Amino acid sequence: MRKNPIPESREKLAHRLIAIITRLYQGDPFESKALAQEFGVDVRTIQRDVNERLAHLPIQKKNGCYVLDPSYLGRLTFQEMERFAILSGVGGLFPELGKVFLEKLFSSLHRESSQNIWLVMGHDYEDLRPYRNNFHILEKAIIHTYGVNFRYTKSNGNVQIQENVEPYKLVNQKGIWYLVAWHEDRFKAFSISRIDAPMLSETPFIPRSGVEEALKQSDGIWLGRKRERILIRVDKAAALFFRRRKLLPNQNIEQEREDGSLLVSTDAAHPDEVLPIFRYWIPHVQILEPLTMQQALEDGLQAYLKQKTTQNDITCH
């Protein structure tokens, strides 16, 4: 059986892109084949780096080599470094994101990896290579504001035809890629790996306002729905983890109690947005408001235990 290829790490991708950017701004021309051999990748990977990942740069091709528009040589701006850092997912990872720090970051990534002083061990990211063609079609649809039609496999396995979908953003949420789009009078998030055979509409649509703001307020992929406030108690054993970083959407520490526990508020547009997180932190969390959500959490656990008991009985007989 043929094994799936190992997904490329963000560190390797960032190192390669930094090398390409540095050569371009230093005026050093390069060929796709030579650079592919240097980094141990396919020629098409280098072409995708230049034509898609770095499409915002004024790159030209002369005599079979890639070069930067001469008027831009030596002008790697802070804004471009900042944009790359944010898109690479390190925007909020380090304690600062100023010009001096970004210059150190770019310089470090361009050195041999043994000299790097940072090691980031983050999420395992979804391998999108099997869906790269669909991804590029959706990118094109967003850029040119074309609607899309596609087949979509829901979590229960049912396949539905989605028509007249207005695409707005490609969002990576905890390592999984989603298409944020307007469909059937509300915003939806479609998992990229479940989208099949996307086709562009013949005419562009007029973009709706407020998409950027909705994304900021949602703190996730659940858009266009009324959000319900949730209050939870976090005991002392787990309090440190909730203080250290936001584990919940729009998380806010309301009170730090004398016994070391916390009162933490969050909100959700759908129970599935938060219930999996609460399950992970059992027995250290308790939902105080709304009580219906605490009941839903307990009902889910009871159903699981009942199912396991039934399975064990069948096995014993």
Q: Residues 142, 182: contact at Cβ < 8 Å? A: no
Cis before residue 7, ω within 30 degrees of 0? no
First to last CA, the chain: 36
Confidence (pLDDT) at 114: 46
Q: Which are the contacts of 86, defined by CB distance < 8 A and separation ≥ 6?
A: none
- How do beta strands 176-183 and 186-191 pair? antiparallel
Q: What is the pLDDT along the chain (317 residues), one digit of tens a residue?
A: 444 444 455 667 777 887 788 777 777 888 889 888 888 888 988 988 888 888 777 888 888 888 887 766 555 565 666 666 666 555 565 555 555 565 565 555 555 544 555 655 566 667 777 888 898 899 899 989 999 999 999 988 899 999 999 999 888 877 788 999 999 988 888 999 999 999 999 889 998 887 777 766 666 666 666 789 999 999 999 999 999 888 898 899 999 999 999 999 999 888 888 999 999 999 999 999 999 999 999 999 999 888 877 766 665 55
Length of the chain counted residue by residue = 317
Note the pLDDT tens digit of each residue in 128-156.
Answer: 778 888 988 998 999 899 999 999 999 88
Tokens 């919940």, residue?
248
CA-to-CA separations, 28 to 45, 65, 152, in angstroms, rounded: 19, 10, 45
User: Which residues lie across from 152 on neighbouring strands?
Assistant: 160, 195
Other CB atoms closer than 10 Å to residue 19's CB: what's the count?
17
User: Which residues lie across from 5 on neighbouring strands?
Assistant: none
Note the pLDDT tens digit of each residue in 37-91.
Answer: 888 888 988 988 888 888 777 888 888 888 887 766 555 565 666 666 666 555 5
